[in-house]
A and B are shown apart, each in its own frame.
Chain A
Amino acid sequence: MNDATVIDIHNVSKIYNPDTIPVHAVNNVHLHFERGEFTALVGPSGSGKTTLLNIIGGLDAPSEGQVIINGTDITSLKPNQLINFRLQNIGFVFQSYNLIPVLSARENVEFILLLQGVSKAQREQRVQDLMNAVGLGDKMEVRPAQLSGGQQQRVAVSRALASKPQFILADEPTANLDSRSAANLLDIMAQLNHDEGMTFIFSTHDARVIERARRVITLEDGRVVSDKAVGVPTKGGRV
């Protein structure tokens, strides 16, 4: 592990139904991710992409192995410590956006900052900057139901970035988007990766995402079957 390493995954396995009919959703995976990566986890349905993403995000505990993020073994954290760790270090973008329907776009982004206890003035500035960065500066007060799918996902990206996380985990972020919205979203994420060195890890089936990724990890039956660098290094990180 070097200074650029953000995530280290050691011998991680996830076994469902260990006492009846064991299912190895993730099987003895070793991976490490460095700052500034733009990585796609690919593979057929049931290959373990989402489970691995959930384990990296601390949403699910591995049956075996360790996940070390910035030197912290998150598998040893207590539930409340883990929640706090996620809040401070990890941004999430979900397939179905998962915005809070009763809050406006601005409030959805601000929500994370409120959980972090950021002051009002800093919150306002940060939300404004983030919404401008995803091209939704004029939709701040609109509720999610009044936004298109692409716009909602851009708000979700803003929300994921709000806490200034170490990396962003995006689970099929373009799956519910039309091609134009998907391209637009990928442009924004690639821009953030290029300009700010933000680390992105996607789970995806989408060829458009795979095309833009600079590292593609293929999973099958919970195992890593290939791990390829496919592009040029970004400004702040590596391939």
Chain B
Amino acid sequence: MILQLAWRNLWRNRNRSIIAMASVWCAVVLAIVMSSFQKGVFDLLIDNMVSFYSGYVQVHRTGYQSEQTLENSFELSDSLQNTILSTPGVASMTPRLEAFALASSGEKTKGCLVAGIAPETENMATRIKSKVVSGEYLSDSSSTVLVSEGLAKRLQLGVSDTLLLLGQGYYGTTAAGKFPIGGLLHYGSPELNDQLVFLPLAVAQRWLDAPGLATTLVITPGDPASSGETTARLRNTLSTEFEVLTWQEMMPEINEHIETDTASSAIILGVLYLLISFGIFATILMMLAERQREFGMLIALGMKKAQLALMVLFESVFITLTGCALGILASLPIVWQLTNHPIRIGGEMAKVYEKFGFEAIFPASMAPSIFWKQAVVVLVIGLFLSLYPMMKVLFLKPVEAMRS
């Protein structure tokens, strides 16, 4: 009865209710599109920076993160690998032997990150094979290397050309080698695209004079969202000889960027919601003023004040939820379109984005959390704004109300 009465009351002043709902609708559409863009861009950023190279979790010898030298490498034993693979939450694992080196061709030289990889498991972890734009991917028996496109361009090299790598091997030995280029890789992130060289793990171990060693184990969790829990389990399982790091710990600058951007968006969303709150509150105040007499009459007839307060609450919640539901419905096709056809930025602006390590596209995200979070926020606003009229009703004196 109370629900029915509240719903019908909503349509007594149709225009006012529609205006209030429209303000909620507008805010929800804006908030969803904005949040969807933000999440889409962050997902792309994380995908570029995390799943394309670093992985979600890495295991190193303790101290490697702060001093990335071969002296902080570790023995790649079967028992270590089995221990990690049997840890709950770990889906797969791939070893790397990483070193910084100078890549050279003719008179051109550039610093690069050389990674010895296990081709098959590396592809499972970082989908590296999909990045090959010319030539062929590596196999365990390859003696060729893969070079990222930006680096190859800088050195004016292509497939079948020879790359000279000069670095420092294990315990200070000189590591120098000439490697035929087997393929070129393309990365969306300019930072990765300009500096990566991959070669089979065994070849890298020989080149760096580090047989049986690795610097990194890249862990792929079964569910990326629960990589924090997987990290905690690995920390409990492995001895203190090893450090286990999440991508947020390995790349704090990205995490900080995401957190800063999220905070500034939260402020914008807060202002947006504050504006609609005023709109809804004004509607509630007008409704209260107009219906004093009726409220008094309902109490006189025998309606309990709590029932009346509940009716007022339902009216506010109906306005906010109806506006919210319509807003979600309206934003679905917009977000779908922006997800499937992301906005691409061109010209100088694109260069600025690439300079800071971002792909110059703005994808949106269809993550369900974006939609239900708006519904929850709007519902909370509706409930909060209902407190005032509910209190007014609870302290209403029927005779005074009926005189008004």
Residue of A nearest to B5 (CB): A102
Inter-subunit contact A86/B302 (CB<8 Å): yes
A79 to B300, CA, bound (A): 11
Inter-subunit contact A92/B300 (CB<8 Å): yes
Tell me which residues across on chain B come within 8 A of A98, comparing CB atoms. 293-294, 297, 402
A144 to B5, CA, bound (A): 15
Query: Which of A52-60, A62-70, A131-139, A187-195 lies at the interface with chain B?
Result: A52-60
Tell me which residues across on chain A come within 8 A of B5, comparing CB atoms. 100, 102-103
Tell me which residues across on chain B come within 8 A of A54, comparing CB atoms. 399
Picked from A79, A84, A102, the residue with its CB within 8 Å of the CB of B12 is: A102
Categorize the interface residue count of chain B: 20 to 34
Inter-subunit contact A94/B399 (CB<8 Å): no
Q: Does B225 contact A (CB under 8 A)?
A: no
Residue of B nearest to A91 (CB): B301
Query: Which of A33-41, A111-119, A201-209, A226-234 lies at the interface with chain B?
Result: A111-119
Q: Does B158 contact A (CB under 8 A)?
A: no
Inter-subunit contact A115/B303 (CB<8 Å): yes
Picked from A88, A103, A163, the residue with its CB within 8 Å of the CB of B8 is: A103
**Which residue among B11, B302, B303 has the maximum number of chain A CB atoms within 10 Å of its CB?**
B302
Contact A83-B299, Cβ < 8 Å, known A100-B294, A111-B1: yes
Q: Does A44 contact B (CB under 8 A)?
A: no
Inter-subunit contact A102/B8 (CB<8 Å): yes
Inter-subunit contact B398/A59 (CB<8 Å): yes
Tell me which residues across on chain B come within 8 A of A83, comparing CB atoms. 299, 302-305
A163 to B1, CA, bound (A): 17
Beta-carbon contacts under 8 Å, B301-333 to A: 301-305, 307
Residue of A nearest to B8 (CB): A102
Tell me which residues across on chain B come within 8 A of A116, comparing CB atoms. 302
Interface of A is mostly: helix
In the complex, per-residue mask of B247-291: 1 if CB is within 8 Å of any chain A CB, else 0: 000000000000000000000000000000000000000000000
Q: Does B9 contact A (CB under 8 A)?
A: yes
Tell me which residues across on chain A come within 8 A of B8, comparing CB atoms. 102-103
Nearest Cβ in chain B — how far from A30, in angstroms?
22
Tell me which residues across on chain A come within 8 A of B299, comparing CB atoms. 83
Beta-carbon contacts under 8 Å, A95-116 to B: 98, 100-103, 111-112, 114-116
Nearest Cβ in chain A — how far from B396, in angstroms?
10
A114 to B305, CA, bound (A): 15
Tell me which residues across on chain B come within 8 A of A87, comparing CB atoms. 301-302
Beta-carbon contacts under 8 Å, B1-28 to A: 1, 5, 8-9, 11-12
A84 to B304, CA, bound (A): 8
Nearest Cβ in chain A — how far from B201, in angstroms?
76
A163 to B293, CA, bound (A): 22
Offer 21 A-B interface pairs, CB within 8 angstroms, sorted by A.
A54-B399, A57-B300, A59-B300, A60-B399, A80-B305, A83-B299, A83-B302, A86-B300, A86-B301, A92-B300, A98-B297, A98-B402, A100-B294, A101-B12, A102-B8, A103-B8, A111-B301, A115-B301, A115-B303, A116-B302, A159-B301
Q: Which residues of A does B touch, CB under 8 Å?
A: 54, 57, 59-60, 79-80, 83-84, 86-88, 92, 94, 98, 100-103, 111-112, 114-116, 159, 163
Q: Which residues of B does A touch, CB under 8 Å?
A: 1, 5, 8-9, 11-12, 293-294, 297-305, 307, 398-399, 402
